[in-house]
Amino acid sequence: MKPRHIAILLAVLVAPAWSATKTVTLSVPGMNCAACPITVKKALTRVAGVAKVDVSLDRREAVVTFDDSQAAVGQLTGATTDAGYPSTIKEAAR
């Protein structure tokens, strides 16, 4: 096998060990109607690596579970901001 192929094979085999599933709670204070959570959820689910999104209008928050090797919290807050709903971290990623 060529050295390049070995490196690619190792990267594929080892990569899952470098990633972890994280959950973060985002405060989304601009949500104020029944359509807002739908828009926020849609924006967040479009971010690569996002596995689950639960949005609460009552609490004005979104709980997002994502693969930290594919997405970062900044991408999540950016997605909500781009959709018209700026957000901040309410709870640190765990």
Q: Which domain does 42 fall in, by range?
A: 19-91
Domain of residue 54, CATH code? 3.30.70.100
Which residues in the chain land under pLDDT 50?
A: 9
Q: What is the pLDDT of residue 20?
A: 86
* Residue 66 pLDDT: 96
CA distance 22 to 76: 12
Q: What is the pLDDT of residue 57?
A: 97
Residue 60 lies in a domain: yes
Burial of 63 (0-12, 13-18, 19+ CB in 10 A): middle
Cα 25 to Cα 18, 39, 51, distances in angstroms: 22, 17, 14
Number of domains comprising the chain: 1
What is the structure's pLDDT at 28? 97
